[in-house]
Structure 1
Amino acid sequence: MLCCFFAQASQGQALAPPLGTATGFALFTAAGAFNNSGPTVVQGNIGTQVGAFSGFPQGTVTGSINVANTYAGQVATDVATAYTYLTTSVPCGTTAISTLGGSPAQTLLPGVYCLGGAQTLTDQLILDGGGKANAVFIFKLGGALTTADLSTITLINGANADNVYWQIGGRVDLGANSVFRGTIVADGAINLISGAALLGRGLSIAGAISLDTNIVTGPLVEAPLPVTLVTFSATKQGRAVLLQWSTASESHTQDFTPERSTTGTTGWEPVGTLPAAGSSSTLRQYRMADNGERHQACYYRLRSTDTDGTFSFSPVRFVAFDDTAAPLAAFPNPAANFVVVTGAAPGSTLTLVNMAGKIWQQPSATENGVNYLEVRNILPGTYLLKAVSATGEVTSTKLVKE
């Protein structure tokens, strides 16, 4: 039976599934391979309990990578618990829907929506929170979910991706250059086709996870396990770079490896390795110099490795040489549906201008500290993305709309 109901805020809060240790994960499968191709960017922890793992560091992750370790075992248990909870403890409502998305856009209010069999999400789905910050949306599908190329889930009036859940009884395929929001808990593979963006989580009890030049913005992970990282800095010292970091606590930490890249997404190489304290609850300071001759900008990140093989990355730091400034960038470029904007100074005003000087859009959407610019409704062509800082400094980069 196809059904749904509009839950009150208090009911919606009770319906949200317990994620346990999976809360901090952007992507995880309990049993399946985990692979990536292209410069995928992931915010949040990732991993697999049973299966091969590949594609990182070609991809970039801010968070820990967990493959068949103790932590992954617990996450696998918690994902299974969440799936069972959604299956047995969340009842369907009374108002039926038979499709997801559409043109004109389909708009839904908070509640539980049950759909039997496989489904395809087309065009645009709008989730309207009705002004309630804790409004919960739960979608229960009896089969696979496919989202069409360029399709979009949009949140309005207080709706939050952290309160949107998708229980999928099969495979999930997110279409090329689509934008999907919410936490997926699936019994099947999760496949992000080229350019797809997932703003939430992708968790599977059984099935491979496949990525291809994607943006995945899960929980913000500034200090991933097993290390509580207090600071990590990269400071230019002549033609060298001084790397310094400090930890407030360490738990079975094996070593630290600073890494550098000229792009910030690919080509990471180790600078060196320092042994960690192992286990510590006091403030500890570390430092290392990168003495290689530099003629261009460099990005740095810190890799922390645990004794059981778990490793995680710090936020990325940028060092400019020859008066190079941190570049303004948009990814993916060319873009069909959306771009992520990086390199703008805090508080900058962003504008998108065509070659005739007409302002087409002023992006302002920010989720988990990441700037997103929707471009699906502008005409194809070449544009100038401009960032004006609070002090009036202007930086720009070219953006091509497909």
Structure 2
Amino acid sequence: MIRNFYAKQLLLLIFIFCAPSLTFGQIYLNTFTGASACPTPGNVATAIPGVTGTELTRNTITCTAFSNAFNSTTLNNTATINNNSYIEFSVTADAGFQLNVTSLTFFRQGSASAPNQLEIRYSTDGFATSTAWGAAPLTVTSPGATTNWDFDDFTVASGVKLTFRIYPYGPQRADLSANTASTGASFRMDNVTLNGTVISPMPVKLSSFKGSCENNSVLLKWETTWEDQNEGFEVQKSVDAINFHKVGYVAGNSTTLLKSSYEFSDTGIKSEQTFYYRLKQIDLDGSYEYSRIIAVKSDSGDEKLFVYPNPTTGTFEIKSLELKNPEIRLYNHLGKEVPIKISKSENMDSYQIIIKGNPTPGIFELKINDTNGDSKPRSVKVSVIE
């Protein structure tokens, strides 16, 4: 048995006072205090508002009595990670919140004959898939050490359970002696801390929004990754990407963690005209958010000309299978020509347009004239946004 476990207190003080200022906060904390007993005393998760956390649990690993630590035995002393031999805890963002997770920190210590290898993984789908550290430091004996897994930041949606598993394993002993590690040795944890922030997200995660012209109508389609208290979507339309009016409404799915698909058809569309659409997503409490704006050009009945993206921040492409040698010019709302850079694609059927300088947001007119005379002059409205 290790006799210097309490030296970790000094170690942690050194870590706190000598470390640089941290920019993240604690989402979850579990610090163990109490007498030597099983089940482990003080196994109480402390989570910040907006988060629900679980206590530490063991799978095939068992409790062994020790004071002021989460002490475990029946360890895996083989060279291969046993997917059923782990310590686990979870956090879940409450309704109306989501997690931005940045790192995991905890104190670790093994008895002399404990396996000294360690793996840590996290999952948001019950470990159907998971992310593994793969480079966790070795477990040491007295006085122990603090482990910090600074993984790539990621976001977890409301209601999704994020679970961490810690896998002690390996034939090498923590004291590095020549003997094989013992399954009856012990592995201890304390000050388990999950760092990051809790944010109140948009009530709906809109993953796609697009439109197409079909038989004198515009078909709008959109998908959500998840929804929280979503009453529905007001479909709004404009001819100048500035002044919008309501053309329809589609009911939402209230609260769901599943992907949802929606569509709306705007009928009676005039040909050869560009229309702009956006979604006004409305919560059950009446609050709302707007989606990005998309543009759909109705069919002309002959040549197809595509401008993408539109609206644009200043760089876009035009594509037509019939343009041979186009002369392309751009004009602002005053009719003044705006300087642009034109680059032709390798397959010769599309052109990248870059507006030079810092264009003022608004509606521009793109005029295209095929100098070979094979296609009539075309004019397309382009919306420039910040």
Larger Cα-atom Rg:
2
Common topology (TM > 0.5): no
TM-score, normalised on structure 1?
0.30
